[in-house]
Structure 1
Amino acid sequence: MEMEQSDGGGAVKRAKLSPGAGEDRLSALPDDVLVLILLRLHTAEAAQTAVLSLRWRRVWALLPEFRVAFAGPMPCSVGPAIAAHQADLRYLHVGVMDATPESVAAWLPAAARRLCGRFVFLNLAGRDEDWEEAAARRNVLELPCFERAATVYLDLGLLGAAMPLAGVFARLTELTLARVRFRGPCGLGDAVSSPRCPLAVHDARGLDNLTIRSESLLKVVLKQLSGLLQLTVVAPALKEFFVVYCFHIDQNQPVANISASQLVSLKWLDAFDANTVQLGKLEHLQSLDTFFVFVYGTMDIDGYQYLMEDLTMLPDIMNLHLVVMAEGHDFGGSSFNVLRLCTGIRRLLLQLPGHTGSEAQTACSTGCICDQPSNWKTEELLLNHLEAVEILEFRGSEHEVSFVKRLLNWATVLKKMTVTFDIFVTESMVKELSQMFQGYSRPEICFEFHMYWDFVKVLYAPQG
């Protein structure tokens, strides 16, 4: 029998196997078995088996997965290799440094035709100003329509890209576009509107006005859309909607009109103006994540009035994560105002970040406005669904202790409270506070206390 083998320098020569060496049973295996063997190799290694013999020359082209990565610009051989591929691709991963629109356009349409699963493309390009200016002057990459792909993740390294003018993303369940300069006649909103696909866009340029209309869209994630001025979303089936650092309040006033009556989870970590941002009725909302609310209008509260009364509605929340940056001031009134708007919560996570170890943060001046309004100290609140409370970074200040005492009174069905003390709270203080909480509460409440020992978090177990 004869086999072709490489001499290490790219040349191919024939080698004869001696009769005692046995026959080549491996090559006699069916294609699907050989494909399973080659899938254990890197794509480049699998392609090298083509030099073994005529039998092996086409086997690697049947692989359903294709992974290539280059430390430099993409070689011209990638396009012909993908075009020559004979099998549908359930997974295609291409990583490259400093790709150009022309180098990507040479193989992307062929890849789109073959794709029937997941596609990941990473263009690891430089981020300095000179590079970005050069990228802005380059040609535009015209994206094809991935008609059979299930998920697509494109990090274009700020290359200019135009959305496809035609075609339907019939099977796409997830589309993520990162570091893209949108250009061309077809808008992003047109491309992702029903029935085309869901959407996530990160760190993009060129989207000043984005309109998405979809009857089937379930999730939208928008992050760092530099220059966004206006956002319109009409998606009656939408369940999850995230807007993170897209509007810049110092540059423009956010303008948004969101119509998503079935929304369950909303994350709005961005500028917000109730006069120009319309969220509609959120009757099914269960999760809300927002920026900090300045209770007195500024971090320096002297001379400012209480603003929490403007907060008149919260959704039907079951799990509440409340982060309180009190800076030594009383936070009972503002927290009470939040809790009275969502009395159906079942779990409460109360986080108390501050300047660790600073005695200056444990008290404020006498007569401080933070004590107003003070009716929260006497007014009753029924949290008759709250079963679990977790408190993080507890330092044991007078304001913190007062609020926790009231919370234990309001939570009539509380089953468990977990308290993690600040890293600088001493063991003696942990003992004192833990005994106080247990003595003040109902006996059926299970307490769990954590403290730090040599900067390592441990479960506090009192001796005796």
Structure 2
Amino acid sequence: METRSARRRRLSAQGGVGGGLDLIGGLHDDLLLQILGRLRCAAAAARTSALCRRWRGSGLWRHLPELSFRGIAHGAIEAALAQVALLKLSLLDIEITDRLPAEAVASLLRAAARLDPADLSIVVAWVVQTDEMVPIEVPSFPRATSITLRLHKLHLALPAQGVEFPVLERLSVTSGRFDTGALISRCPHLRVLELIHCWGIETITVHSPTIEELLVISGQLRGVDIVAPMLKKFTLRSDVSVDFGMSLLAPEVENLSWKCWSHGQFLLPGESLAVGIDGIWRLVRLELGTGRSGFILGLDIGRSYCVLQERNLQEMFPFPKLSILELCLDTRGHVYGGVVLNLLRICNAIQRLKLVINRDMWKDEVCPPDCPCDQPQNWRSQNISLMGLEVVEIKNFKGSGHEVDFLKLLFRCAPLTKVTVKLAPKVVPNSRGCKNVLKVFRGNPSADCHVYLKRGNEVIYRPASRCSRR
């Protein structure tokens, strides 16, 4: 049996311990490249190269198909890219946390284009651009199927006229400025597009026969123009201006997720121009999502104290056929029946209605004579067709005269089967408001009706005929 000292002498003679070659260094180059490739990060691969003598100075990492540079100075990355021997990379991933001038970013893009990667990701935390009007040209990447660019506040320009991104399927741009329509026209096979806080773009234009997924996150938009016959998923997160409008031609879309806010446009000190939707009411938030039973629309609406520019929601948003409407109203004590009735005209195919009244005893106001909140004055006697509406839930119900009138209107216009009312604080079972609700329920015995106190104790009313059937 070979002793430990004999084994050490043998390995030394072979170069494994203190000799010319070590055991790892004796491996074939292809196998060594596979080991380095599993490290992914070029810096880690370079450090690993220092472990064996044959790797030192050989720069085997220069032949790796996938390179990732993170936490490395810009100058070192440029020098490393100049040494790369493989000119058709599978992956090039660069992340720089330092401030870089725009000219350095342009040089980095050109160096990346020389390596012609199939998957490119360049992230620069902060770009210093002396003249925002001078764009930086994005070179062509003919092999790229995926490109991710996060270039803080950088104005980007497309390559020379006619140059395309022929196989690009996925594009994600964060904090850049560019012509979205012109870029998309250069991408004949684009399927996924992400535009995240792209500055200086007021209207997003997406006309593409191939796009299937679209994500837009923006500070404020004036418009969205989409013509995409293959679009399946559209996600939007943005403030919207008072003149916002959306055109959506996407017959195959099945997953919509919109979250839009209207904070108002500044006019004079203390004034703003908000999106008014009906009299004194302004749009605060709009959220559209996809649920099990179909599309769900959520609206936050509040009493406005600023200048309003009244808009029709249908002019701003092309709503799909809705199944559920969820309204959150900050009424400040005002009558809400008229505004909700007008919204139900827009959403007249819904099956469920959830109405939440924000109650704050310190904010409630006294309506002046002829307050516009009670317009039109004949809303109580109007009739609309809500033939799909079966389930209604109302929270923070006080039982005021106009609230009871609205409840009666719902029973008159819709074939309700279940109604749940959760009373506002301080409303007790023997109060006038609660008695008025129960009176309405007794007049509509076909519906399964429930009343809850604010603290959760249930006040149950069931018609005698319903109980006898059970």
| TM-score, normalised relative to structure 2 | 0.61
Deviation at 1:331, TM superposition (A): 1.3
Gaps of 5+ in 1: 3-14, 274-285, 453-459
Q: Does 1:116 align with 2:118?
A: yes
Contact 2:299 / 2:327 at 8 angstroms: preserved in 1? no
Whole-angstrom CA distance in 2 between matches of 1:111 and 1:219 = 26
Percent of pairs with identical residues: 21
- 1:396 corresponds in structure 2 to 398
Over 3 Å counting, the alpha-carbon distance change for 1:37 and 1:160 in structure 2 is closer
Over 3 Å counting, the alpha-carbon distance change for 1:378 and 1:92 in structure 2 is same
- Which string of whole-angstrom CA distances, capped at 9 and with x for unpartnered residues, describes residues 77-97 of structure 1? 213434527474457252323
| TM-score, normalised relative to structure 1 | 0.62
Over 3 Å counting, the alpha-carbon distance change for 1:342 and 1:209 in structure 2 is closer
Over 3 Å counting, the alpha-carbon distance change for 1:400 and 1:100 in structure 2 is farther
- 1:51 corresponds in structure 2 to 50
- 1:62 corresponds in structure 2 to 64
Deviation at 1:49, TM superposition (A): 0.8
Whole-angstrom CA distance in 2 between matches of 1:24 and 1:448 = 77
Over 3 Å counting, the alpha-carbon distance change for 1:325 and 1:174 in structure 2 is farther
Paired positions, count: 399
- 2:251 corresponds in structure 1 to 262
SS of corresponding position for 1:329: coil
Whole-angstrom CA distance in 2 between matches of 1:433 and 1:92 = 65
- 1:136 corresponds in structure 2 to 132
Whole-angstrom CA distance in 2 between matches of 1:442 and 1:66 = 69
Whole-angstrom CA distance in 1 between matches of 2:108 and 2:427 = 64
Contact 2:337 / 2:406 at 8 angstroms: preserved in 1? yes
- Which string of whole-angstrom CA distances, capped at 9 and with x for unpartnered residues, describes residues 368-427 of structure 1? 3322324443444453434555656x36362556545644665535568596x88xx369
Contact 2:333 / 2:366 at 8 angstroms: preserved in 1? yes
Q: Does 1:340 align with 2:339?
A: no
Gaps of 5+ in 2: 1-6, 9-14, 263-273, 277-293, 461-470
Alignment of 1:352-367 (within 5 A): 352-353=357-358, 357-361=360-364, 364-365=367-368, 367=370
- 2:415 corresponds in structure 1 to 412
Q: Does 1:156 align with 2:157?
A: no
Alignment of 1:358-377 (within 5 A): 358-361=361-364, 364-365=367-368, 367-377=370-380
Contact 1:329 / 1:364 at 8 angstroms: preserved in 2? yes
- Which string of whole-angstrom CA distances, capped at 9 and with x for unpartnered residues, describes residues 18-77 of structure 1? 79xx965996894586257525xx65334311211235952585364625135xxx4212
Q: Does 1:316 align with 2:321?
A: yes
- 1:5 corresponds in structure 2 to none
SS of corresponding position for 2:100: coil
Whole-angstrom CA distance in 2 between matches of 1:293 and 1:339 = 14
Over 3 Å counting, the alpha-carbon distance change for 1:369 and 1:232 in structure 2 is closer
- Which string of whole-angstrom CA distances, capped at 9 and with x for unpartnered residues, describes residues 230-255 of structure 1? 986555555648584576x6xxx77x
Whole-angstrom CA distance in 1 between matches of 2:93 and 2:345 = 51
- 2:181 corresponds in structure 1 to 189
- 1:177 corresponds in structure 2 to 173
Whole-angstrom CA distance in 2 between matches of 1:229 and 1:380 = 35
Contact 2:332 / 2:360 at 8 angstroms: preserved in 1? no
CA RMSD of aligned residues (A): 5.5
Q: Does 1:385 align with 2:377?
A: no
Equivalent residue letter for 1:189: G
- Which string of whole-angstrom CA distances, capped at 9 and with x for unpartnered residues, describes residues 319-350 of structure 1? 43434343321111121122133222234443
Whole-angstrom CA distance in 1 between matches of 2:188 and 2:430 = 58
- 2:78 corresponds in structure 1 to 79
Contact 1:222 / 1:246 at 8 angstroms: preserved in 2? no
